[in-house]
Structure formats: structure tokens, C-alpha cells
Amino acid sequence: MYTSFKDMPVWQEAMALAEEVFRATEKLPRKEDYGLTSQIRRAALSVPSNIAEAFGRSHALDKAHFYYVARGSIAETQTQLEYARRVGYLKPEAAGSLDQRLTKLYHDLNKLIMAVKSSKT
């Protein structure tokens, strides 16, 4: 059992991805600073934030709820990165690499949700 959310591999990967998204969005046009750039960064940071929030909850349904929110933020981040790729803000390789990692994190969260829901604590 983990003593801190910071010890959880899923949180660590989510934080690493949020950092990577931050770096990738530094190259977006300045005109997007208060639009797409901010939105992608907030969605990406929402993932580890909600994992941490779930860690702090004691009831399984509360935990599952925040893991679901984190999973939704993954899909939101993937959508925004895909848009940035399609309009030429991000190179296909960079967007594709982030998308693959986000997809794996999505599946890891699914496993965590199933484990929490089966524990019924």
C-alpha cells in the first residue's frame, strides 16, 4: 500500500506527462497563450491532480469518481493535442508520442478503477 499519492506509478506517469505537455505547448503560437495552450495544460495537470484527490478519499466510490474524472481529463488532453496536430501547431511525431502515453495511462486508470470498485471499501 502506498503512503503517499506521490509513490503511485500512475500518478508519477501522469505528472511526467503533464510536464511533457507543458514543454510541447511552449512552441504553440503566443496568440494561443490564453486559449488552447492554457486549456491543454490545465487538462493535462488535471490528471495527476485528480489521482491525488482520489488518494485522499477513503470510500471506494469517492476514489473511483476522481479516477473517472482523471480519465476524462486524459481524453480531453488527447482531443486538444489532436487538434493542435491537425492545425499544424504540433508535429505529428510529438503529438503521437504523447497520445500513446496518454492511452496507456487511460488503461492503467481503468485497472485502478476496477480494483477500487471491487474492493468496496
Separation between Cα atoms, residue 29 and residue 109, nearest integer Å: 32
pLDDT tens per residue, range 22-69: 999 998 989 888 899 999 999 999 999 999 999 999 999 999 999 999
Asked if pLDDT for residue 121 goes beyond 80, the answer is no
How high is the pLDDT of residue 119? 84
Average pLDDT estimate for 105-117: 96
**What is the reported pLDDT for 14?**
98
**Do residues 18 and 45 lie in contact, with contact meaning Cβ atoms separated by under 8 Å?**
yes
Predicted confidence at residue 75, as pLDDT, reads 98
What Rg value do the Cα atoms of the chain yield, rounded? 15
Query: Which residues, 6 or more positions from 118, have their beta carbon under 8 angstroms from its beta carbon?
Result: none
**Domain positions in the chain:** 5-119
Euclidean distance between CA atoms 112 and 8, whole angstroms: 11
Q: Tell me the mean pLDDT in the region 98-112.
A: 98
d(CA 83, CA 79): 6
CATH number assigned to the domain covering 5-119: 1.20.1440.60
The rounded distance, in Å, linking the Cα atoms of 12 and 21 is 14
Distance CA 38, CA 44 (A): 10
Three cell numbers written together for 9: 506509478
